[in-house]
């Protein structure tokens, strides 16, 4: 019920106008999204890097349904990478890419060509690319793409979602030398056949996966705002003798900024996931619709302002 209301709102240009112009919601959007253009993204990146954080930038554009949209998204990433390099913000800043935004849903080869071009540009800019993970129907194709990309661009990173039953095994596959794996809980509404449903099961899976990655030979990226999981990450870093450049914490822009600063202050590498772009309305509304519990997630961030 709540999901259909939010989805209906996400398609309504009237609601979008209302959300975009109401002072309160404008503040909410600004809290979680850097702005609409490349310059906004560069400005916010500069501020975060000045505060001792590293950054991964996401150009919002998941509803890609035509080749032209896919190409425009690719071109925006190319411009962004040039801008980051020119501003001296690499390698502190890298980019996160959704294959669906590059055409994966209707032309897998086009999506691959686009993401490869972004990897080439990231190499030239002296930084890296991480492939975001979307719903479970895309996990295999995204991991296949990762393996292909890593032949020429070995630093390309992947995301694994602890709520999926398969993920512990994927972690074992990807815990080898040179791999970069972001571990998150997972943000999509997934069926019981493929995903743990209770928070407790997801958290336990996260810890099992974290153990696999932290004891492996790759570079774990622990993406969570959960204080218990962060504490366990810190504990395992000590246990497995990993220094600050041998793993990192990641959090979303606008969520628990004081915790991001605390961890960075303690010498950990902390990366802020920074979304920007015209499609911010769809981004926020889809996050809410996919998982209405995200209302609580964003609400909590505002309450802790």
Does 297 engage in binding with ligand FAD (CB under 6 A)? yes
The only residue of 66, 124, 137, 304 in contact with ligand FAD, by rule CB under 6 A: 304
Q: Considering beta carbons, is residue 60 or 252 the nearer one to ligand FAD?
A: 252
- Check if the beta carbon of residue 48 is closer than 8 Å to that of residue 85: no
- Binding window for ligand FAD (CB under 6 A); candidates: 47-55, 117-125, 223-231, 234-242: 223-231
Give the Cβ contact number of residue 267 at 10 Å: 10
Residue 174 CB, nearest distance to ligand FAD (Å)?
14
The only residue of 224, 283, 284, 286 in contact with ligand FAD, by rule CB under 6 A: 224
Residue 110 CB, nearest distance to ligand FAD (Å)?
21
- Give every CB contact of residue 204 below 8 A, 6+ residues apart in sequence: none
Of 284, 297, 292, 296, nearest to 2 by C-alpha is 292
Task: Please give the distance of CA 139 from its chain centroid, rounded to a whole number.
Answer: 15
Secondary structure of residue 198 in the 3-state scheme: coil
* 159/178 Cα distance (integer angstroms): 15
Q: Considering beta carbons, is residue 11 or 300 the nearer one to ligand FAD?
A: 300
Of 304, 179, 173, 189, nearest to 251 by C-alpha is 304
- In the residue annotation, 132 being an active-site residue is answered as yes
Give one word for 256, left, alpha or beta, with left for phi > 0 and alpha for psi -120 to 50. Answer: left
The only residue of 64, 104, 161, 269 in contact with ligand FAD, by rule CB under 6 A: 161
Q: Considering beta carbons, is residue 82 or 291 the nearer one to ligand FAD?
A: 291
The count of C-alpha atoms lying within 13 angstroms of the C-alpha of 32, restricted to the half-sphere facing its C-beta, is 21
- Residues touching ligand FAD: how many (CB under 6 A)? 24
Does 230 engage in binding with ligand FAD (CB under 6 A)? no
Residue 13 CB, nearest distance to ligand FAD (Å)?
27
Q: Among residues 74, 105, 180, 182, which one is catalytic?
A: 182
Is 187 flagged in the annotation as binding?
Answer: yes
> Nearest-5° angle of CA 210, CA 216, CA 219?
75
> Nearest-5° angle of CA 37, CA 291, CA 112?
50
Is 286 flagged in the annotation as binding?
Answer: yes
Annotated catalytic residues are: 132, 182
Which residues make up each annotated binding site for FAD?
133, 161, 185-187, 224-225
Q: Which residues bind ligand FAD (CB under 6 A)?
A: 132-133, 159, 161, 184-188, 223-227, 250-252, 255-256, 273, 297, 300-301, 304
């Amino acid at each position: 019920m709540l999901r259909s209301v939010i989805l209906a709102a996400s398609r309504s240009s009237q609601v979008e106008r209302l959300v975009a112009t109401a002072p309160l919601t404008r503040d909410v959007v600004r809290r979680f999204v850097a702005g609409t253009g490349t310059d906004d993204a560069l400005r916010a990146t500069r501020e975060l890097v000045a505060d001792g954080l590293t950054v991964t930038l996401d150009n919002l554009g998941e509803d890609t349904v035509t080749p032209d949209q896919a190409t425009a998204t690719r071109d925006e990433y190319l411009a962004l990478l040039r801008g980051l390099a020119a501003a001296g913000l690499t390698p502190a800043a890298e980019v996160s890419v959704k294959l669906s935004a590059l055409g994966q849903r209707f032309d897998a080869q086009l999506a691959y060509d686009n993401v490869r071009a972004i990897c080439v540009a990231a190499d030239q800019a002296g930084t890296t690319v991480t492939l975001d993970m979307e719903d479970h129907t895309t996990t295999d194709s995204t991991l296949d793409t990762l393996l292909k990309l890593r032949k020429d661009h070995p630093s390309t990173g992947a995301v694994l979602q602890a709520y999926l039953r398969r993920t512990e095994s994927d972690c074992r596959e990807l815990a080898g030398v040179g791999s970069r794996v972001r571990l998150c809980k997972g943000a999509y509404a997934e069926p019981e056949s493929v995903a743990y449903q209770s928070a407790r099961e997801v958290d336990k899976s996260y810890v099992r996966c974290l153990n696999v990655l932290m004891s492996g030979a790759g570079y774990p990226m622990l993406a969570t705002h959960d204080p218990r999981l962060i504490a366990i990450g810190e504990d395992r870093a000590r246990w497995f003798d990993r220094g600050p450049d041998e793993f990192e914490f990641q959090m979303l822009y606008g969520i628990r900024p004081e915790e991001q600063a605390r961890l960075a202050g303690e010498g950990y590498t902390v990366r802020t996931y920074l979304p920007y772009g015209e499609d911010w309305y769809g981004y926020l509304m889809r996050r809410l619709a996919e998982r209405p519990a995200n209302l609580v997630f964003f609400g909590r961030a505002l309450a802790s302002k």
